[in-house]
Amino acid sequence: MKHSPTVLAVFGLALASQAQAASPCPPGFAMLQASDTCVRISGTVRADALAGSGRKSGSGSYRTQSGGRVQIDVRKQTEYGPLRAVIAVGNLRR
């Protein structure tokens, strides 16, 4: 099942918008409303462009590459200790 990073980011932002102001969550995390679950959404975007090659005069080559990654980190204290789940989706190949 494939999900685009944009869809995951929107879903995560919707969850984070329900977070409470004061929480026992680590820095960078938001607590979900009416629960003790902490969520953090992070990501990376990369873009490269190369024009010409210098080896051939008059070369009109142009190449672009781009990539992105979205990561959702969920943490919760359970009776057995801390529980952590991480979902990372994306492509940052060079």
The pTM score is: 0.57
Please give the pLDDT value at position 71.
Answer: 94
- Tens digit of each residue's pLDDT (9 = 90 or more) over 19-53: 444 568 889 999 998 888 999 999 999 888 877 76
Instruction: Provide the domain limits for residue 49.
Output: 5-91
Whole-number Cα distances in Å, 75 to 13, 56, 87: 16, 55, 12
d(CA 29, CA 16): 9
Residue pair 79/47 in contact (Cβ under 8 Å)? The answer is no
81-91 average pLDDT score = 92
Q: How many structural domains does the chain have? A: 1
Q: What is the mean pLDDT of the chain?
A: 78
Strand partners, 64: 49
> Which amino acid, 79?
E
**Tokens at 92, concatenated:** 């940052």
